[in-house]
Amino acid sequence: MEGIPQQDPLPEGSLLAALDLGSNSFHLIIAKIEHGELRTVETLAEKVQLGAGLNNAILSEEAIERGLACLTRFAQLIESVDVQRIRVVGTNALRVAKNRWEFTWRARQILGTRVDVIYGAEEARLVYLGVAHALADDAQSRLVIDIGGGSTEFIIGEKFEPQRMESLQIGCVSYNAEFFPDGLISRLHFRRAYNRARIESLHIRHNFHREHWAESIGSSGTLQTIQTILTLQGWTEDGITRSGLKELENVLLEFDAMSDIEIEGLGANRRGTILSGVAIISALFDTLGIESMRTSKGALREGVLYDLLGRLTHEDVRERTSNALMQRYSVDADTAALVERRARVLFTATRKSWHLGAGEWSLLQWAARSHEIGMAISHKHYNRHSAYLLRNADLPGFSQHEQEQLAILVLAHRGKLNDEVFVDIPEQERPQLLRLISILRLAARFKYVETLEQMPEFTIQASEQSLTLGFPEDWLEQHPLTASELEQEQRALAKMGMTLEVS
């Protein structure tokens, strides 16, 4: 596509890296492409307990510093990986934190790439992708459960395709803080944790009960630890079983405090959360009718890695999501194509001056295609409806930040502009987003002209805070509606510090 930055094919031996910034631990994986497949060359994990630093949805400075210190160490290991081939995702603790930008922006400076905070449904999709690649390619339906520090993901799927996904606010770190805050062990508190997990999981029982799947798979470090303990103690021959969980529960409840727990197979880094983990998985076994579960080493970080590989080899799930969105809301494909085509012209002309790359073009493409999805609700204020849908829908492949950016672009593509549209965007990112808004607004202004006639050749020049459009002589006089709209656009953009000149 002329003027649009293109990705080079991935050569043999290329390195890819994925970082999973979980509520309990941070995980890093580096893999090499060999004969078209990914071969893991390095893995690293550190217990950070970011979620333990949450108080009233605010991350403490201590927790932020713990996380950044870990990333500083990880950064040394990924120095050899091209920054375009690294993806970093944040999960529940960062989803919940109102001040997540205080962490993610500083993390970006350390790693050289952004942190994509992902919604629960997207986390579930990526977990399943990681598990599916680690297991035999059979036709059986699977229930995959990933117990994290702040949330638990549930997925039913076959082969590489997830079919049902859910994320619940059930996690080892959060449950530990709520039910065992002083580190002391009691049967009463264990039973309260178990009951809470049962109540929470009852909401999904109908869709995830054992009648819907043939086998269950656990993918988290907590479940792998439980399976290791059960096997070493001789309480199970393979995987996690109901009877084995009961044996482990009884043994753990004999201790007075978390710090006292000594049992073969339990590392020091899991000692403080093992009791919460047993309470949660026991409740899930009972609610969902699970009799036994085997574990998989494939999890979120592997899923992120394979998803990144797809993006770099033109198999981006976000493209499928964008196309499905258009179909679901019966978007006028011709109008969307017109806006995308005009946005492409403006982007190509401004990308060097405004330092726009492939990521910005993708956002503009998706915004152009989806800017009218709100028409399915109402023509009046359709941009507001479009923005609401983009912000709140489950969009496979998209991060929370990408959905927020798309929602802002679509909301601001028409009507008045003010600082309120940037409420969820950090100060550092606002200038670039304003440039994309300017492009989309102008592209939308010209869509009605294109339905009647071919747009004229016009010049486009950009500087840091300005855009100049030059039209053929007398063209604006012959198109008074467009001239009037451009005048309105000048006033709207000027309020945001962007100068639009028309001649």
For the segment 406-447, what is each residue's pLDDT rounded down to a tens digit?
999 999 999 888 888 887 788 888 889 999 999 999 999 887
Residue 3: predicted pLDDT? 60
> Is the CB of residue 134 less than 8 Å from the CB of residue 302?
yes
Whole-number Å distance between alpha carbons of 118 and 250:
37
Q: 187 to each of 179, 180, 198, 222, 266, how far by Cα in Å?
A: 11, 11, 16, 20, 20
Each residue of 447-457: pLDDT tens digit? 766 554 566 77
What per-residue confidence (pLDDT) applies to 485? 87
Report the C-alpha gap between 407 and 372 in whole angstroms.
Answer: 12
Q: Which pair of structure tokens corresponds to residue 272?
A: 């403080």
**What pLDDT is stored for residue 483 in this prediction?**
86
- Maximum pairwise Cα distance, the chain: 89
Report CA dihedral (70, 74, 76, 80) to the nearest 10 degrees: -160
Give Cα separations from 243 to 185, 218, 249 (angstroms): 21, 17, 10
- Are 104 and 90 spatial neighbours (Cβ–Cβ below 8 Å)? yes
Tokens, residue 394: 């489950």
**DSSP letter string, 108-168:** HHHHSS-EEE--HHHHHHHHHHHHHHHS---S-EEEEEEE-SS-EEEEEEETTEEEEEEEE
Q: Which domains does the chain have, with CATH numbers?
A: 15-118+303-310 (3.30.420.40), 136-295 (3.30.420.150), 316-453 (1.10.3210.10)
Strand duo 466-470 + 152-158: pairing: unpaired
| Burial class for 139, CB neighbours closer than 10 Å (0-12, 13-18, 19+) | exposed
Q: What is the mean pLDDT of each run of 10 residues along the chain (503 residues)?
A: 62 93 94 90 93 93 96 94 95 94 95 95 95 80 94 94 94 93 94 97 95 93 94 92 96 95 91 94 97 92 94 89 94 91 91 92 95 94 94 94 94 88 83 93 78 68 90 86 88 90 89
Say whether 33 sits in a helix, a strand or coil. Answer: strand
The residue type at 352: K
Burial profile 155-175: b = 16 or more Cβ within 10 angstroms, e = fewer: bbbeeeebebbbbbebbbbbb
CA–CA dist 191, 186 (Å, integer): 9
Integer Cα distance of 125 and 316 in angstroms: 14
Listed in sequence order, the residues at least 6 apart from 489 whose beta carbon sits closer than 8 Å to its beta carbon are: 441, 442, 445, 500
User: Which pLDDT score is estimated for 421?
Assistant: 83
Query: HSE (CB half, 13 Å, CA atoms) of 294?
Result: 10
Instruction: Calculate the CA dihedral of residues 149, 98, 355, 440 and round it to 10 degrees.
Output: 110
pLDDT of residue 241: 95
In the structure encoding, which two tokens stand for residue 342, read together? Answer: 């005009």
- Whose structure tokens read 């890819």? 16
Is the sign of the CA dihedral 68, 69, 72, 74 positive or negative? negative
229 vs 231: CA distance, rounded Å: 5
Q: How far apart are CA 120 and CA 171, in angstroms?
A: 13
User: Are 428 and 437 within 8 A, CB to CB?
Assistant: no
What's the half-sphere exposure (Cβ side, CA atoms, 13 Å) at 423?
7
Number of Cα atoms under 13 Å in the Cβ half of residue 335: 13
Look at residue 7 in the predicted model and tell me its pLDDT.
61
Predicted TM-score (pTM) of the model is: 0.89
The pLDDT of residue 83 is: 93
Q: Taking the alpha carbons of 27, 154, 128, 106 in that order, is the dihedral positive or negative? A: negative
* CB distance 298 to 130 below 8 Å: yes
Given a contact cutoff of 8 angstroms between Cβ atoms, the answer to whether 214 and 140 are in contact is yes
